[in-house]
Structure 1
Amino acid sequence: MLSFFKKNTFTILYTFFLGLMPLLASSSLSYWIITHEQEVHHFSTQAWCIAFLLACFSMAFALTPTTFIALLSGYFLAWKALVPLALSYWIASYLGYKIAQLIDGGKFLNILSEKPKVKQILENLQKDEFKIILLARLSPVLPFAVTNVLFSFSGTKLKNFLSAGFIGMLPRTILSVWLGTQAQEIRKLIEHPSEGSIAQFFILGLIIFSMLGLGYFIKKAVKFD
């Protein structure tokens, strides 16, 4: 175990960084948006294009949570935000996957594969990887950037990762944009993003469905003939 951590120190630290950064960066961005709300309301089309381009990188590097970006987009742009937002998610997914691939270079997967039982579990999981990716993306509690890294490290096929991930993100994206359109004040939206029984019920449903589905496929993968 100690040898595993030594060989993957940078990889593990990078994953930890991705899990921590959204809290720090979103707090700073929230303050700026609250104090410059009127300026954002008057953004030009070009300014919004730049904002979504920056969001691609900020989400890929875990500087801003995807739900946070969707809420703000819905608040300022309403349903017009859905297409550029979905495209931004797709690009951020690709960047996160490729960056993790460059950092790790396959070492993480190779070390895990040295153990026969672990290798068998990984191979079993890969048989259902499309469904697993879709379920992971459905859950609002699984960090976007961290799952990008984990799927990249585990050798997930890029085609499955992008297509299943895109489909899985749609329900929570639509919900977040809708919540943004319903908000009356930007501060209230940021501080209480999922206020309301309908939103909470839907979020809870996504979490339960995702966790049950992932639990089923993990249980299935660890069973050996």
Structure 2
Amino acid sequence: MSADASTGAIRRRLAVLVALLVAGVGVLVFAPWKNWLLTGLEAARGLGPLGALAFVLVYALASVLVLPGSLLTLAAGFTWGLGWGTLVAWVAANVASNLSFAVGRFLARGWVSERTREMPRFAAIDRAIAGSGLRLVLLLRLSPLVPFNLLNYALAITQVRFRDYAAGSALGMLPGTLLYVYLGSSLQSLAALAAGSTPSGGTAQHALFWIGLVATVLSVVVVTRSARRELDQRLEREPDDDE
């Protein structure tokens, strides 16, 4: 494939990703998606395993379109209770995050690779993220400051290995999933879910917030130190300009 053809393919993929994100924003702002969700939940409650499977598929689609995942996790708690709700929501979140990662990697990674050839500092950060993959993904998933769906795409455009991404996500999403499912199981009605009037998580919610805040700081430290090391190694490999 020629360079021009390759560049054209990369741009077309990037355009598809942008279209997906715009579609997600359109649904979020203009479509009655909460009403659709409530109708679907009413149906899912009576379908047993098929209802859970449908929920996983809806969760995955919502993630690709960057729709809020927290509401769906609350819905799992309301629909299936704490035990089964946690399992269904955790499986759904993992399927959703991995699918979004695959979509982002396929559609946007080529464009990012082209940009990093001209930006040594970004290239160093890119390699640093890959080198600290599992640890960094775990820390970022624990962080309350990084939106779930945006993180899927943000990590997809880096060099992080899929196995590190999947394992770090699976572990890091579990505490938040458990808390949101618990809150959802405490709701009295679907109307309360639609209105966003969720009960307070009390001590557990505060603890998760502070743990996530520490994880955010640690993730920044990990990336910064690793990127600085990568830059130093790059400079050592490059010949001096005077030679």
Q: TM-score, normalised by structure 1?
A: 0.80
Cα gap change, 1:42 to 1:120, in 2 (>3 Å): closer
Cα gap change, 1:193 to 1:141, in 2 (>3 Å): farther
* 1:148-193 C-alpha deviation (Å, 9 max, x unpaired): 1111111211111111111110010000111111222333344233
Structure 2 contact 125–226 (Cα < 8 Å) conserved: yes
Cα gap change, 1:188 to 1:202, in 2 (>3 Å): farther
| Match runs of 1:160-179 below 5 Å | 160-179=164-183
1:192, 1:163 → 2: CA distance? 32
1:202 aligned onto 2:213: no
Q: Which sits farther off after the overlay, 184-193 or 210-219?
A: 184-193
Give the number of the structure whose alpha-carbon radius of gyration is greater: 2
| Unaligned segments of structure 2, at least 5 residues | 1-9, 233-243
Which residue of 62, 69, 76 corresponds with 2:72?
Answer: 69
Structure 1 contact 75–181 (Cα < 8 Å) conserved: yes
Which residue of 13, 28, 52 corresponds with 2:32?
Answer: 28
Number of residues paired by the alignment? 217
Identity among equivalent pairs (%): 18
Tell me by how many angstroms 1:41 deviates. Answer: 4.2
Q: Name the residue aligned to 2:5.
A: none
Q: Name the residue aligned to 2:114.
A: 110
Q: Name the residue aligned to 1:3.
A: none
Which residue of 47, 59, 69 corresponds with 2:51?
Answer: 47
Tell me by how many angstroms 1:35 deviates. Answer: 6.9
Which amino acid counterpart does residue 173 of structure 1 have in structure 2? T
1:57 aligned onto 2:30: no
Structure 1 contact 59–66 (Cα < 8 Å) conserved: yes
Which structure ranks higher in relative contact order (CA pairs < 8 Å, sequence separation ≥ 6)? 1
Cα gap change, 1:52 to 1:18, in 2 (>3 Å): same
Q: TM-score, normalised by structure 2?
A: 0.74
Which residue of 101, 106, 109 corresponds with 2:105?
Answer: 101
Structure 1 contact 82–174 (Cα < 8 Å) conserved: yes
Which amino acid counterpart does residue 195 of structure 1 have in structure 2? S
Which amino acid counterpart does residue 219 of structure 1 have in structure 2? T
1:215 aligned onto 2:220: yes
| Unaligned segments of structure 1, at least 5 residues | 1-6
